[in-house]
Chain A
């Protein structure tokens, strides 16, 4: 069994000898026991019930407020001249961004042969899908008349007699987000089929048997099925990889194609993508640190996995810092007075508190991950991840609100105040997210068992085994 020292050692790697990805002497069968054991419990622990009740209550509030909004109108939000886009777009971008970590882990890290991803990809992909659900709600209810939401799509309508505006990035958003949601669900589900079959074969409950049988699509684990599975997996990974870039690029276009100082700048596409990956990994860390504790996954999601996540946070947080710096520098360098004013206003105007919250949480806090101690101590990284979540929400707030509240016409400057509906819906979206996530933990295999086994040593004379146990 793994001692504490061994677990800590795993973050060090002697060049030429790859450290094992799974510790504690886990075998193929013990991994199945641990992972499948969670959904197989008769009853989940009390904490699950408490968390679930709170989440469902918050989710209920969200849907009640949506009802109120639909019947009353979008005026229940704080959006008003000059800030037409308030919390709804902030929340939308916040949640879409969080989704990005899942796709990055499952697609891009797969292409880069980062085998450690197998322990956390299922978890992160689930997070992606639930985050996209939360994100989709805000623009959907923002259109006002939600019952004609399908006008968003270009379809030959005799009644409407017109198309949506193809030059509008909002239409591009419809395509980008719906494609992203579709591919993410496909990828997540397809990857889960072998594990669902494992659950089907193990369960003793008739109801579960039927449910998992349908979901497992008749998986038998034959060589032919595996061969097709691997092909489909790598194809979906290749298709999903550009989606990591495209979705948040299009979201950044929502802002950047305008002429508004603070929005209209060319760094926006890669800057938004880096920010999205940053926020997504922040959320992964927020979820995985407690989850590995509660579900006994410490040998699957090892300190090394956490350290890698922290390193990615440091890298992407610094990229975001680079973008902040470039924006400031170019605003000065451009010599355009409006640009210069906008950035000074951000840092020292009425929203200075939001700006410095953003800089502190997104650029300063991740710098602690230069230190190994911080990259290997779960509670420190958990606290830091909360800061990242906060900071990334504030980033979208700063971009959206500061630029709009003081634009070209000083006579119509204003100060944005959210209403209770704004706040309630944002809190409620966390309810929706955690409800879905807790259901996932309860009924689905939260670690990709089959994939983890594929990167473990396969026997005494296996090259991986020899590399691992030298």
Chain B
């Protein structure tokens, strides 16, 4: 071993664990989350619409937080697949985020029970009468039925939780043993995880977002969801790093170089999202076939037109130009600003995917949406703190940590 390895000191144990902050985060997160969910439920009950508004608003924010967790899982699998070294210093944070897929499964239960009880307030295809009378829907019945829907959901969460738990447990075991074989083992499993991830995320997005409008279809839909998920995951991770550092954690460990790297990924996936969103729109606009354009017709008329434009500029053009510069990417404060901006935009994206089905003409933006966002957001923060527990926030004996700490952008 050469001199350059010795110059890196082992960080103080206190600075790589949540410590006292954990309880505050859990109490705060779960407390606020619970209160907001109660408000949302009360609002829903007073609306006397069989909780229709509640379920749509809940699904919007649920997909928002789910996509962050899924992005983390996809990222982890890709890091191991490519034997990445740069990310070793931020990987534990993403392992914790990915593990929130566990509690996310519990938060999916309201939707699942609603579907299993035969309710069609959220998914119109679950209406037995409609299925019997509509020829088109009858044709889709082998896929769009409540039993298969539930089976698929169980498979998705089974795959995600198993994979997330695998990465987190192996990595934390390495904290103790420092055994490089654990890294090799994760590398060996990663291609299978990537394959399973691609299929489950695709079909989950079809089930939970695309099938809201059961007449509409797009072969690109899974890729679209994935692209947005990656933007929001990288943004969220960058915010996590900055927040932890502002609390005095991981100070010397996550250098400006890692912010630069994360920002490059944000920039790249903003471009990728724009590319996918544009391609999907262009092909349907150009083909101009009614059963395909109907989905966009709702979204570019009346109140939804402005939301579409907000997405075009807010999730693509403005952040694309804004995060292009190297100086911006190496400026932590500015990048935190962009990351928050992009998270807001990603929520608007989910809102745009889900809500037009609830209210095609008017923009349903009010207390219900806010309560669901804060409610699920509180749970999400609480879950992260709960999973982080006494764990280190740094893969302290990852064999590639020295590389990550030393690596500089040219």
Chain B residues, Cβ within 8 Å of A268: 279, 283
A335 and B140 form a contact (CB under 8 A): yes
- Asked if B282 lies at the interface with its beta carbon under 8 angstroms from chain A, I say yes
Min CB gap B316→A, angstroms: 13
- Asked if A15 lies at the interface with its beta carbon under 8 angstroms from chain B, I say yes
- Asked if A214 lies at the interface with its beta carbon under 8 angstroms from chain B, I say no
Provide the bound-state CA to CA distance between A265 and B219, in Å.
Answer: 6
Chain B residues, Cβ within 8 Å of A318: 195
Chain A residues, Cβ within 8 Å of B4: 463, 466
Min CB gap A118→B, angstroms: 14
SS class of chain A's interface: helix, strand, loop or mixed? helix
Closest to A466 in B: B2
Interface residues of A in 1-54 (CB under 8 A from B): 13-18
A259 partner, pick from B191, B287, B398, beta carbons under 8 A: B287
Min CB gap B171→A, angstroms: 12
Interface residues of A in 253-291 (CB under 8 A from B): 253, 256-259, 264-270
B223 and A16 form a contact (CB under 8 A): no
B139 partner, pick from A330, A335, A467, beta carbons under 8 A: A335
Chain A residues, Cβ within 8 Å of B402: 16
B271 and A470 form a contact (CB under 8 A): no
- Asked if A224 lies at the interface with its beta carbon under 8 angstroms from chain B, I say no
B289 and A466 form a contact (CB under 8 A): no
- Asked if A72 lies at the interface with its beta carbon under 8 angstroms from chain B, I say no
- Asked if A423 lies at the interface with its beta carbon under 8 angstroms from chain B, I say no
Chain B residues, Cβ within 8 Å of A470: 1
Given A15-B400, A16-B180, A249-B275, A336-B291 contact (CB < 8 Å) = yes
A461 partner, pick from B2, B195, B284, B399, beta carbons under 8 A: B2
B140 partner, pick from A234, A270, A333, beta carbons under 8 A: A333
B287 and A264 form a contact (CB under 8 A): yes
Interface string of A199-223 (1 = CB under 8 A from B): 0000000000000000000000000
Provide the bound-state CA to CA distance between A323 and B199, in Å.
Answer: 11
Interface string of A323-357 (1 = CB under 8 A from B): 10011001001111000000000000000000000
Chain B residues, Cβ within 8 Å of A15: 83, 180, 183-184, 187, 398-400
- Asked if A245 lies at the interface with its beta carbon under 8 angstroms from chain B, I say yes
- Asked if A113 lies at the interface with its beta carbon under 8 angstroms from chain B, I say yes
Provide the bound-state CA to CA distance between A111 and B264, in Å.
Answer: 10
B180 and A266 form a contact (CB under 8 A): no
Chain A residues, Cβ within 8 Å of B271: 242
A269 and B287 form a contact (CB under 8 A): no
Min CB gap B410→A, angstroms: 7
Chain B residues, Cβ within 8 Å of A230: 410
- Asked if A84 lies at the interface with its beta carbon under 8 angstroms from chain B, I say no
Provide the bound-state CA to CA distance between A282 and B249, in Å.
Answer: 47
A14 and B275 form a contact (CB under 8 A): no
Provide the bound-state CA to CA distance between A234 and B180, in Å.
Answer: 34
- Asked if B217 lies at the interface with its beta carbon under 8 angstroms from chain A, I say yes
Provide the bound-state CA to CA distance between A333 and B410, in Å.
Answer: 49
B219 and A259 form a contact (CB under 8 A): no
B399 and A16 form a contact (CB under 8 A): yes
Chain A residues, Cβ within 8 Å of B219: 265-267, 323, 326-327, 330
Min CB gap B91→A, angstroms: 13
Closest to A249 in B: B279
- Asked if A322 lies at the interface with its beta carbon under 8 angstroms from chain B, I say yes
Chain A residues, Cβ within 8 Å of B333: none
Interface string of B279-293 (1 = CB under 8 A from A): 110111011110100
Given A16-B403, A242-B271, A267-B220 contact (CB < 8 Å) = yes
Chain A residues, Cβ within 8 Å of B398: 15
Min CB gap A333→B, angstroms: 6
Provide the bound-state CA to CA distance between A318 and B1, in Å.
Answer: 40
- Asked if B222 lies at the interface with its beta carbon under 8 angstroms from chain A, I say yes
Closest to A230 in B: B410
Q: Which of A242, A266, A268 has the most CB of B within 10 A?
A: A266
A334 partner, pick from B1, B184, B217, B400, beta carbons under 8 A: B217
B195 and A14 form a contact (CB under 8 A): no
A257 and B140 form a contact (CB under 8 A): no
- Asked if B106 lies at the interface with its beta carbon under 8 angstroms from chain A, I say no
Given A330-B219, A466-B4, A322-B198 contact (CB < 8 Å) = yes
Given A266-B284, A335-B136, A466-B2, A14-B180 contact (CB < 8 Å) = yes
Provide the bound-state CA to CA distance between A258 and B292, in Å.
Answer: 13
- Asked if B64 lies at the interface with its beta carbon under 8 angstroms from chain A, I say no
Provide the bound-state CA to CA distance between A264 and B288, in Å.
Answer: 11
A463 and B136 form a contact (CB under 8 A): no
Chain B residues, Cβ within 8 Å of A322: 198-199, 202
B140 and A266 form a contact (CB under 8 A): no
B280 and A266 form a contact (CB under 8 A): yes
Provide the bound-state CA to CA distance between A318 and B406, in Å.
Answer: 35
A257 and B286 form a contact (CB under 8 A): yes
B289 partner, pick from A259, A267, A461, beta carbons under 8 A: A259
A266 and B399 form a contact (CB under 8 A): no
Provide the bound-state CA to CA distance between A335 and B283, in Å.
Answer: 19
Chain B residues, Cβ within 8 Å of A113: 86
Provide the bound-state CA to CA distance between A265 and B279, in Å.
Answer: 10
Chain A residues, Cβ within 8 Å of B287: 257-259, 264
Min CB gap A40→B, angstroms: 33
A13 and B399 form a contact (CB under 8 A): no
Closest to A470 in B: B1
Chain B residues, Cβ within 8 Å of A314: 191
Provide the bound-state CA to CA distance between A266 and B218, in Å.
Answer: 6
Given A257-B286, A264-B287, A333-B217 contact (CB < 8 Å) = yes
- Asked if B51 lies at the interface with its beta carbon under 8 angstroms from chain A, I say no
B1 and A269 form a contact (CB under 8 A): no
B283 and A264 form a contact (CB under 8 A): yes
Provide the bound-state CA to CA distance between A234 and B326, in Å.
Answer: 13
Closest to A245 in B: B275
Interface residues of A in 290-340 (CB under 8 A from B): 314, 318, 322-323, 326-327, 330, 333-336
- Asked if B276 lies at the interface with its beta carbon under 8 angstroms from chain A, I say yes
Closest to A467 in B: B403
Min CB gap B115→A, angstroms: 18
Min CB gap B82→A, angstroms: 8
- Asked if B143 lies at the interface with its beta carbon under 8 angstroms from chain A, I say yes
Interface residues of A in 222-249 (CB under 8 A from B): 230, 234, 242, 245, 249
A463 and B2 form a contact (CB under 8 A): yes
Provide the bound-state CA to CA distance between A242 and B180, in Å.
Answer: 36
Chain B residues, Cβ within 8 Å of A111: 264
Chain A residues, Cβ within 8 Å of B399: 14-17
Chain B residues, Cβ within 8 Å of A326: 202, 219, 222
Provide the bound-state CA to CA distance between A322 and B287, in Å.
Answer: 23
Provide the bound-state CA to CA distance between A42 and B283, in Å.
Answer: 56
Closest to A268 in B: B283
Interface residues of B in 170-199 (CB under 8 A from A): 180, 183-184, 187, 191, 195, 198-199
Interface pairs (24), CB distance under 8 Å: A14-B399, A15-B398, A15-B399, A16-B400, A16-B403, A18-B85, A18-B403, A253-B282, A256-B283, A259-B288, A264-B283, A265-B219, A267-B219, A267-B220, A269-B279, A322-B199, A322-B202, A326-B219, A326-B222, A327-B219, A330-B218, A335-B139, A461-B2, A467-B403
Please give 5 more A-B residue pairs, beta carbons under 8 A apart, in addition to A267-B219, A330-B217, A336-B291.
A14-B180, A15-B83, A270-B223, A270-B276, A326-B219
Residues in A lying within 8 Å of B, measured CB to CB: 13-18, 111-113, 230, 234, 242, 245, 249, 253, 256-259, 264-270, 314, 318, 322-323, 326-327, 330, 333-336, 370, 461, 463, 466-467, 470
Q: What are the nearest 9 A-B pairs in CB distance?
A: A16-B399, A267-B219, A266-B220, A15-B399, A15-B183, A466-B2, A257-B286, A269-B279, A15-B180
